[in-house]
């Protein structure tokens, strides 16, 4: 099984997800990660149409991170719209040529000769292309040493579990489906990964921000939060507060208790968010809190005692 740092930084915010992030804040975010000893960064060409990768390539060396652990993604190419000076558009390309071109472009933006992990990014609607060309292509890239490990990065547990069962996969990234509010990956993806020895990286532990700050303006699964889900998140926060634990601490640490989970990545758009998330990762959480969260189905009761930190 591939070994990855337990905590990493997701760079979709550095690509401008929901809100633009300026160069100074982006640089400060990477610098704060370096100061906290974090070296694991997850990115993708689709994050800001290459902006997140470009910023990592620029700011990692400036922050003194000379040996980062980087995961990026493939399956989509950035193409000009045809308008003079216009933005690029993202188009799917699961051919071997497209997979290689995507990686080569990523390496150029990152300023690197290889990456540690390459995921096939959201191939939900392209199973035939994955089988015919995309998966064989990433295997060859791994054999050639251009990537250290290969896998799939997706938002849906069922299709991801099916890919793990079908292919030889080193690592998978599941976003938003193993959280205090969403246990979908528990009985679909994680048992398969545990059986096959496939490492699991969990993203979206805040469910698009709701579990970081449960307020009516928060997002849940990339959409405005429904009232009932907001009430659940606020109830979870209240239980954590009874034990003097920030909700974010429970959200970050919950997936890491499962033996199949190698890492959690948290999206950060500022130095302050890096500091707060690192503090949350290290926060001491009493067993009694996990038991209380299990009482109200935020944590699976049958697994509370058997999971490890």
Categorize the per-residue pLDDT at 7 as very low, low, confident or very high, splitting at 50, 70 and 90.
very high
pLDDT digits (tens, 9 = 90+) for 48-82: 999 999 999 999 999 999 999 999 999 999 998 87
Cβ atoms 129, 94 nearer than 8 A: yes
pLDDT, position 307: 58
pLDDT, position 82:
73
The token pair that represents 101 in the structure block: 């071109």
pLDDT digits (tens, 9 = 90+) for 217-246: 999 999 999 999 999 999 999 999 999 999
Q: How confident is the model at residue 303 (pLDDT cuts 50, 70, 90)?
A: low
Q: How confident is the model at residue 306 (pLDDT cuts 50, 70, 90)?
A: low
The residues annotated as belonging to the active site are 47
CA-based R_g, the chain, Å: 19
What pLDDT is recorded for position 81? 80
308 vs 303 pLDDT, higher one: 303
* pLDDT classification of 304: cutoffs 50, 70, 90: confident
- Is residue 100 pLDDT above 90, yes or no? yes
Main-chain dihedrals φ then ψ at residue 201, nearest 5 degrees: -105, 130
> Does the pLDDT value for residue 308 go beyond 80?
no
Residue 270, class by beta-carbon neighbours within 10 Å (0-12 exposed, 13-18 middle, 19+ buried)?
middle
**Residue 261's beta-bridge partner residues?**
200
HSE-up of residue 27 (Cα within 13 Å, Cβ side): 9
Least confident of 12-21, 62-71, 300-309: 300-309
pLDDT at 301: 82
Q: Which residues pair with 90 in a beta bridge?
A: 78
Over 60: is that where the pLDDT of 284 sits? yes
b/e code 242-260 from CB counts within 10 Å (16+ = b): eeebbbbbbbbbbbbbbeb
Hey, is 24 helix, strand or coil?
A: helix
Question: Which domains can be identified in the chain, with CATH numbers?
Answer: 7-299 (3.20.20.100)
Residue range 183-223, pLDDT digits in tens: 999 999 999 999 999 999 999 999 999 999 999 999 999 99
CA-CA distance, 138 to 165, in Å (whole number)? Answer: 17
Residue 309 has what pLDDT? 45
Q: Are 243 and 286 in contact (CB under 8 A)?
A: yes
pTM: 0.96
DSSP H helical ranges for the chain: 23-35, 51-62, 96-110, 127-129, 135-143, 157-166, 189-196, 227-242, 247-256, 271-282, 287-295, 301-304
Paired strand residues for 37: none
What is the C-alpha to C-alpha distance for residues 235 and 293, in angstroms, rounded to an integer?
10
DSSP 3-state assignment of 60?
A: helix
Query: What are the pLDDT digits (tens) for 119-163?
Result: 999 999 999 999 999 999 999 999 999 999 999 999 999 999 999
Q: What is the per-residue pLDDT across 24-49, written as a single tens digit (0 to 9) for each?
A: 999 999 999 999 999 999 999 999 99
């Amino acid at each position: 099984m591939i070994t990855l740092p337990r905590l990493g930084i997701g760079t979709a915010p550095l690509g401008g997800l929901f809100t633009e992030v300026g160069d100074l804040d982006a640089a400060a975010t990477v610098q704060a990660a370096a100061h906290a000893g974090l070296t694991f960064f997850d990115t993708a060409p689709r994050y800001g149409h290459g902006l997140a990768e470009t910023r990592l390539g620029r700011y990692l060396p400036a922050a003194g991170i000379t040996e980062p652990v980087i995961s990026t993604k493939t399956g989509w190419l950035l193409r000009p719209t045809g308008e003079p000076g216009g933005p690029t558009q993202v188009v799917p390309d699961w051919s071997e040529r497209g997979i290689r071109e995507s990686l080569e472009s990523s390496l150029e933006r990152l300023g690197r000769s290889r990456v540690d992990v390459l995921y096939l990014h959201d191939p939900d609607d392209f199973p035939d292309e994955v089988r015919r060309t995309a998966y064989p292509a990433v295997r060859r890239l791994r054999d050639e040493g251009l990537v250290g490990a290969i896998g799939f990065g997706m938002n849906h547990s069922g299709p991801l579990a099916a890919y793990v069962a079908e292919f030889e996969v080193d690592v998978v990234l599941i976003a938003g489906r193993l959280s205090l509010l969403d246990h979908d990956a528990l009985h679909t993806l994680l048992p398969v990964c545990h059986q096959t020895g496939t490492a699991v990286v969990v993203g979206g532990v805040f469910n698009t921000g709701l579990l970081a700050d449960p307020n009516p303006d928060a997002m849940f699964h990339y959409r405005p939060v429904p009232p009932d889900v907001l009430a659940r998140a606020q109830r979870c926060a209240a239980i954590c507060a009874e034990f003097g634990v920030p909700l974010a601490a429970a959200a970050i640490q919950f997936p890491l208790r499962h033996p199949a989970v190698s890492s959690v990545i948290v999206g950060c758009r500022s130095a302050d968010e890096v500091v707060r998330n690192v503090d949350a990762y290290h926060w001491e959480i009493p067993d009694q809190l996990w038991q209380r969260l299990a009482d109200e189905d935020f944590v699976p009761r049958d697994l509370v005692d058997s999971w490890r930190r």
